Structure 1
Amino acid sequence: MHAEPHLPLPAELPLVDEPGGTDVDLKTQIIRFGVTGGLSAIVDFGLYAFLFEVVGLPVNLAKAISFIAGTTTAYLINRRWTFKAPPSRARFLAVIALYAVTFAVQVGLNWVMYHALADEWWRLPLAFVVAQGTATVINFIVQRAVIFKIH
């Protein structure tokens, strides 16, 4: 018998799931998504500011790297805690597609805002917040309505 190669499962976090499934109520999901988003935003912005201000990377490259770190953090926590969904290759691939879209939205909107705003101390964080906020709304709606309904 010939065994076909399988895609690896997405990374797991060592957390204990509470009983349930993907039937976590909307209020709980929103709160958990917000907490997870806050943590992921700290990872994203901290790395972004460090790479741009300290390392000296171009704004788009710094934002691209930080976006990947922040969204990876968000996915891993949201899958296990916010939406309580079991591992799924189909879901993982759908998340990659969603993050590709929100990557373009976030990096593009960050670039537009950064260059449109005055060269003041608040330019970098404000551009980040507008881009992050837009991507967060898109991510929650698509993850709740589509991705975490995939089995």
Structure 2
Amino acid sequence: MSAEPPLPLPPELPLVDEPGGTEVDLKTQIVRFALSGGFSAIIDFGLYTLLLQVVGLPVAVAKSIGFIAGTTTAYLINRRWTFQAPPSRIRFLAVVALYGITFAVQVGINQILYHVLPGEWWRMPLAFVIAQGTATVINFVVQRAVIFKLS
């Protein structure tokens, strides 16, 4: 019986780590998390909009693809820049599990709000912002309190 090869680590972003180790104060982490989250949300919303309005995919499918692209971007930036944590398979698997939960929360909230809000121009962005905001709070709290304390 041959041993299975270990799971690969996600790709590294070409960022230069700041000196001073992995301890980053809460205020800095919140600002960095918000900035990386904003950038990731642009990727998520842009892809979601393109797939929904141009390609014509169903709401849940378009939002799911946007979410995956956005959260992958967020993880790669947050691990290196926000929390300054070294690569870890355990941490990566924990983030995948967390993103699975926030995926269901975010896509579910977006789906419900998209269908219950009036069909005005602001329906799609409002549903997105509320769903994104909820998932962002969950992600920050769990990543700061649990995941980036793992080794």
One fold, TM greater than 0.5?
yes
**Matching of residues 75-90 of structure 1 within 5 Å:** 75-90=75-90
2: CA distance between counterparts of 1:80 and 1:90? 16
Q: Which runs of 5+ in 1 are unaligned?
A: none
- The range that moved more, 81-90 or 13-22, is 13-22
| Deviation for aligned residue 1:21 | 2.9
1: CA distance between counterparts of 2:64 and 2:147? 23
- The range that moved more, 50-59 or 20-29, is 20-29
Q: Among the aligned pairs, what percent are the same residue?
A: 77
Q: Which runs of 5+ in 2 are unaligned?
A: none
1: CA distance between counterparts of 2:21 and 2:115? 44
CA root-mean-square deviation: 1.1
> Counterpart amino acid of 1:130?
I
> Counterpart amino acid of 2:129?
V
Is residue 2:100 matched to residue 1:103?
no
Deviation per CA, 1:10-39, whole angstroms, max 9, x where unpaired?
210011100133310000000000000000
Deviation per CA, 1:56-78, whole angstroms, max 9, x where unpaired?
00000000000000000000000
In structure 1, the partner of 2:138 is 138
In structure 1, the partner of 2:21 is 21
| Deviation for aligned residue 1:3 | 6.8
Q: After the TM superposition, which parts of structure 1 deviate over 6 Å for at least 4 consecutive aligned residues?
A: none
2: CA distance between counterparts of 1:87 and 1:19? 17
**Matching of residues 44-55 of structure 1 within 5 Å:** 44-55=44-55
Kept after mapping to 2: 8 A contact 1:22/1:148: no
1: CA distance between counterparts of 2:114 and 2:149? 36
Count of residues in correspondence between the two structures: 150
